């Protein structure tokens, strides 16, 4: 069913023409551009408590930003005027909101319960739970030893072969959930085309206990196919041709190509064209992760994603965490002209989270035409970068503290470690307050006034990780709706692929 968002004629509307955008331009110039963050705190003693929002296990502290009640009101109006509420419903209803590819966008169905009725009439959606059950039987059988390698050895080394969304998700989540790895199971990954990763890995692997999970939505991606064929040759060389049937499984939508590679039908795990690569961790692309952490933990991650989906779908715009995060991003991007944003997780297990978000945000928002092909009239995606704290403090944080550029930060803090918490809070405070001691040499002065969000939680569990990923997925979507771009295509990377293909 087409709603206000899907029926919208893009050509008649640019975000910069919306009344709220115009009011924000004025509000920025008159009230906020030269206002210091510490002034905002001294005007409003209750600020720290006021600009904070909880959802599930996550808490977003957005008090250290260049915003006040008026900013929040105008930003929320922007979301409403840009039809964000209708866009959210259009996504959950299965409308073809990925217009340039003519596809629905339904990664939310992968973590839904049947009772949530997420686009059940869309082909593939009713099969979501069948694939999950098939994954569960497979994972359990590998763990129990019922499914073995060709020589009867237990399979314990899981190697994910994929790239982009077919690599970053499983890799990021396997690092994040390291304490949940089943005893004896080990996760490895191969993505790059130069062959060195596989080369180094096979030196220490025993083919008899190794299971390769070839992850590729298309099953044609050059890097993945090159690595998968090299792994296949290694298995054949060390074992025999028949061993391929025991040591390779695949997650893909391309059955013909899986036939050709020799993946047996019961070792195939399907998904659908409405699952974008960078949104695919929740699908069979998560198989390598599930094999290492077990289905219970994998399902807890799905359940965390669903909790954020319910919040996103139900919460009003001004109490909606992904919407607020997106609006704050737009505020710095389009009104303060920030060109990049740093993601600094204070939990080393989230060391690959910045890389994961780089694909999610930059592949989704790196667009300069709108869905109807007309050039945008404002900047779109910022450059996303980052590193786990406190490593970041001892490398690039100097530029954030004393450089000339505005780099808004998202701190992601797991409160499990007291010293990480102290470090993270100290950085957010130093960025905001700086130092104003009298007589200080200019090179020692921290001007402060640098904004940040802090997203914190007590412990990084599978459920919390699911909430965190879904939070950023929806944030990216909201930004795209406001800019009028298609956040779910990636035509920009196709040319390079074509030029490199033999
Ligand atoms: O080239 C970019 C891209 O299409 C990503 O969007 C995707 O995650 C990655 O390549 C891998 O694609 P596939 O899963 O089809 O191998």
What is the DSSP code (8-state) at residue 416? T
Q: Residue 430: how many CB atoms within 10 A of its CB? A: 17
pLDDT, tens only, 384-401:
999 999 999 999 999 999
The alpha carbon of 410 is separated from its chain's Cα centroid by a whole number of angstroms, namely 14
Distances (CA, A) of 172 to 4, 58, 256: 36, 19, 29
> What mean pLDDT comes out for the span 150-159?
98
Q: Is 240 helix (H, G, I), strand (E, B) or coil?
A: coil
What's the whole-number average pLDDT of the chain?
95
Global confidence as pTM:
0.97
CB 215 within 8 A of CB 249: no
Percent of the chain with pLDDT over 70: 99
Give the binding-site residues of ligand 1, using a 6 Å CB cut-off.
163-166, 216-218, 221, 224, 277-278, 363, 490, 493
For residue 289, is pLDDT > 60?
Answer: yes
Phi-psi category of residue 61: left, alpha or beta, with phi > 0 → left and psi -120 to 50 → alpha: beta
Place of tokens 């004025």: 26
pLDDT band at residue 9 under the 50/70/90 scheme: low
**pLDDT at position 476:** 98
Q: What is the dihedral of CA 300, 301, 302, 303, to 10 degrees?
A: 50
Q: In this predicted structure, which of 5-9, 267-271, 283-287, 442-446 has the lowest mean pLDDT? A: 5-9
Closest C-alpha among 326, 244, 308, 351 to residue 62: 326
**Could you tell me which residues come within 8 angstroms of residue 454 by beta carbon, excluding any fewer than 6 positions away?**
60, 61, 64, 410, 411, 412, 413, 424, 425, 428
Q: Residue 41: how many CB atoms within 10 A of its CB? A: 15
pLDDT, tens only, 45-69:
899 899 999 999 999 999 999 999 9
**pLDDT at position 1:** 56
Q: Which of 101, 215, 216, 217 to mutate to test the pocket of ligand 1 (most atoms within 8 A of CB)?
A: 217
Q: How far is the CA of 215 from the centre of ligand 1 (A)?
A: 10
pLDDT band at residue 405 under the 50/70/90 scheme: very high
**pLDDT at position 114:** 84
For residue 7, is pLDDT > 80?
Answer: no
For residue 145, is pLDDT > 70?
Answer: yes
Question: Beta strands 157-161 and 186-190: pairing type?
Answer: parallel
Q: How far is the CA of 287 from the centre of ligand 1 (A)?
A: 17
pLDDT, tens only, 83-123:
999 999 999 999 999 999 999 999 999 999 988 878 999 99
Percent of the chain with pLDDT over 90: 91
Closest C-alpha among 340, 319, 358, 311 to residue 466: 311
**pLDDT at position 115:** 86
Q: Which CATH architecture has domain 4-95+315-494?
A: 3-Layer(aba) Sandwich (3.40)
Q: Which tokens is 78 given?
A: 């922007």
> What mean pLDDT comes out for the span 4-22?
81
For residue 438, is pLDDT > 90?
Answer: no
The alpha carbon of 129 is separated from its chain's Cα centroid by a whole number of angstroms, namely 23
Distances (CA, A) of 182 to 137, 262, 309, 414: 16, 29, 28, 22
For residue 497, is pLDDT > 90?
Answer: no
Q: Which tokens is 411 given?
A: 């701190």
pLDDT band at residue 355 under the 50/70/90 scheme: very high
pLDDT band at residue 2 under the 50/70/90 scheme: low
Q: How many Cα neighbours within 13 Å face the side chain of 311?
A: 26
Q: How far is the CA of 306 from the centre of ligand 1 (A)?
A: 24
* Range list of H helices, 220-360: 222-238, 244-247, 255-261, 287-293, 295-314, 321-330, 353-358
For residue 132, is pLDDT > 70?
Answer: yes
> What mean pLDDT comes out for the span 184-197?
97
**Could you tell me which residues come within 8 angstroms of residue 452 by beta carbon, excluding any fewer than 6 positions away?**
64, 65, 408, 409, 410, 411, 428, 431, 432
**pLDDT at position 10:** 60
351 beta partners: none
Can 4-95+315-494 and 125-298 be said to share one CATH topology? Answer: yes
369 beta partners: 375
Closest C-alpha among 76, 67, 64, 3 to residue 32: 67
**pLDDT at position 11:** 55
> What mean pLDDT comes out for the span 186-201?
97
- Delimit the domains of the chain by residue range: 4-95+315-494, 125-298
Q: Which of 166, 229, 250, 282 to mutate to test the pocket of ligand 1 (most atoms within 8 A of CB)?
A: 166
Terminal C-alpha separation, the chain:
43
Q: How far is the CA of 362 from the centre of ligand 1 (A)?
A: 14
CATH fourth-level superfamily of 125-298 = Glucose-6-phosphate isomerase like protein; domain 1 (3.40.50.10490)
Distances (CA, A) of 337 to 25, 135, 334, 476: 12, 46, 5, 18
Which atom of ligand 1 approaches the CA of 218 most closely?
A: 15
Closest C-alpha among 77, 80, 85 to residue 24: 77
> What mean pLDDT comes out for the span 165-170?
98
For residue 453, is pLDDT > 60?
Answer: yes
Q: Is the dihedral of CA 422, 424, 428, 430 positive or negative?
A: positive
Q: Is 425 helix (H, G, I), strand (E, B) or coil?
A: helix
For residue 424, is pLDDT > 80?
Answer: yes
pLDDT, tens only, 201-243:
999 999 999 999 999 999 999 999 999 999 999 999 999 999 9
């Amino acid at each position: 069913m087409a709603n206000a968002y899907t029926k919208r004629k893009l050509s008649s509307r640019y975000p910069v023409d919306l009344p709220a955008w115009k009011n924000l331009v004025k509000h920025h110039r008159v009230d906020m551009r030269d206002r210091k963050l510490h002034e905002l705190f001294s005007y409003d003693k209750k600020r720290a408590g006021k600009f904070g929002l909880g959802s599930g296990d996550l808490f977003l502290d957005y008090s250290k930003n260049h915003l006040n009640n008026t900013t929040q009101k105008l930003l929320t109006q922007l979301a409403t005027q840009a039809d964000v509420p209708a866009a959210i419903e259009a996504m959950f209803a299965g409308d073809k909101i990925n217009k340039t590819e003519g596809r629905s966008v339904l990664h939310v169905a992968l973590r839904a319960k049947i009772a949530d009725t997420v686009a059940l009439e869309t082909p593939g959606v009713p099969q979501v739970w069948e694939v999950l059950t098939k994954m569960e039987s497979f994972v359990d059988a590998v763990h129990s030893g019922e499914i073995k390698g060709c020589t009867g050895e237990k399979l314990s080394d899981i190697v994910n072969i994929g790239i982009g969304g077919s690599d970053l998700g499983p890799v990021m989540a396997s690092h994040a959930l390291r304490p949940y790895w089943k005893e004896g199971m080990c996760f490895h990954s191969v993505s790059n085309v130069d062959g060195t990763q596989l080369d180094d890995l096979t030196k220490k692997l025993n083919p008899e206990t190794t299971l390769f999970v070839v992850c590729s939505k298309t099953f044609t991606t050059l890097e993945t196919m090159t690595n998968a064929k090299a792994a296949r040759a290694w298995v054949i060389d060390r074992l025999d041709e028949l061993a391929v049937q025991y040591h390779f499984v695949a997650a893909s939508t391309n059955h013909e190509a899986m036939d050709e590679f020799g993946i047996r039908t019961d070792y195939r795990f399907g998904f659908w064209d409405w699952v974008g690569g960078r949104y695919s961790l929740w699908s069979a692309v998560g198989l390598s992760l599930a094999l290492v952490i077990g289905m219970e933990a994998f399902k807890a991650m799905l359940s965390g994603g669903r909790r954020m989906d319910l919040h996103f779908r139900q919460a009003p715009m001004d109490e909606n965490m992904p919407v607020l995060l997106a609006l704050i991003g737009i505020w710095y991007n389009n009104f303060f002209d920030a060109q990049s944003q740093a993601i600094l997780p204070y939990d080393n297990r989230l060391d690959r989270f910045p890389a994961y978000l780089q694909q999610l945000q930059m592949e989704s928002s790196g667009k300069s035409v709108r869905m109807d092909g007309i050039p945008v009239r404002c900047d779109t995606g910022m450059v996303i970068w980052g590193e786990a704290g406190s490593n970041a403090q001892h490398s690039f944080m100097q530029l954030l503290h004393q450089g000339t550029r505005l780099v808004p930060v998202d701190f992601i803090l797991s409160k499990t470690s007291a010293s990480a918490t102290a470090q993270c809070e100290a950085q957010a405070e130093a960025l905001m307050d700086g130092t104003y001691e009298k007589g200080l040499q200019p090179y020692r002065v921290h001007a402060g006034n640098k904004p940040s969000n802090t997203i914190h939680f007590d412990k990084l569990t599978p459920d919390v990780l699911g909430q965190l990923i879904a939070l950023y997925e929806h944030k990216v979507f909201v930004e795209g709706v406001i800019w009028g771009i298609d956040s779910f295509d990636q035509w920009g990377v196709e040319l390079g692929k074509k030029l490199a293909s033999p």
